Amino acid sequence: MSSIFSTKIHGKGFSKIPAQPCIVNLKEFAQPIFFEVRGTNGSGKSVLGFMCQELDPLARAYSFKTTDSKNKPFSIDLIGCPSYKTLFVGAYPRGRAVGGVDVINGSEKIEAALKYALEVATAEGYSRVFFEGIMTSTSNSRWSKYLLESLQVPSERVYVAWCNTPLDVCIERVRARSGGDFNESLVEGKADQLTRQPANHQAEFPDVTRLVYDCMCSKEQMVKNWVEMKFFEIV
């Protein structure tokens, strides 16, 4: 059994707003698009979530309490930004450099978060579900397969985008936020893996749209690109 509540992000008191568990017949509603962004550490995957959360005065957090396959309780957060018609998977805590799926622990919980995101987005009118993280970035097929087969999201509503951030920029960003030395090979290995993903992904999911996600522009331009869905397709 799961319980759901939503909380205003902006506004004095962070007052709780009651919300009923979503029981949705997906065939009766137009489904949102699912937009997955992939990139290595420091690529800028989380920028949009943090920006929209801060810019949208109507932003709210949805919290879900449920149990896993071993009957252990856990909770998952989603961030809703009605002004951008976007539901972000995972939390984007103020003062942290990372958010999204990277604050969700484990594949089973990520699957639960994507399922809840589909239900909430469909019920409350969000037309886009955005998710990103290192854990999802390093698996080329799992999450697309889960969306298409388990959640039955039509392929034309699934988008996968890869960050265009150069490796040296990613390394410098991670070094700056870590405050010292770190194992650069961890970032290099992920970057190498990510460069091979689009071709392999196309071979497995030919009907899914693959895009370049521009992280080398300003944060404001990233938001504008999202509003206008301004991305180049990988062909």
What's the CATH number where 45 sits?
A: 3.40.50.300
**Number of separate helices (H) and strands (E) present in the chain:** 7, 10
How many CB atoms within 10 Å of residue 207? Answer: 10
Nearest to 163 by CA among 128, 198, 205, 129: 198
14 inside domain: yes
Confidence (pTM)? 0.86
Domain that holds residue 174: 3-227
Q: What are the tens digits of pLDDT across the range 201-222?
A: 999 999 999 999 999 999 999 9
| pLDDT greater at residue 83 or residue 10 | 83
DSSP code string of 84-138? GTEEEESB--TT-S--BGGGS-SHHHHHHHHHHHHHHHHHHT--EEEEE-HHHHT
Give the sign of the dihedral formed by CA 216, CA 221, CA 226, CA 231.
negative
15 inside domain: yes
Q: What are the tens digits of pLDDT across the range 159-195?
A: 999 999 999 999 999 988 887 777 888 899 999 999 9
pLDDT at residue 210, as a whole number? 96
Q: How far apart are CA 227 and CA 78, in angstroms?
A: 19
233 inside domain: no
**Structural contact between residues 90 and 131, judged by C-beta atoms closer than 8 angstroms:** yes
**Structural contact between residues 39 and 134, judged by C-beta atoms closer than 8 angstroms:** no
pLDDT at residue 16, as a whole number? 33
Q: For residue 26, what pLDDT band results from cuts at 50, 70 and 90?
A: very low
232 inside domain: no
For the segment 29-46, the average pLDDT, to the nearest whole number, is 90
235 inside domain: no
31 inside domain: yes
Q: For residue 118, what pLDDT band results from cuts at 50, 70 and 90?
A: very high
Q: How far apart are CA 5 and CA 44, in angstroms?
A: 29
Looking at the 3D structure of the chain, how many domains does it have? 1
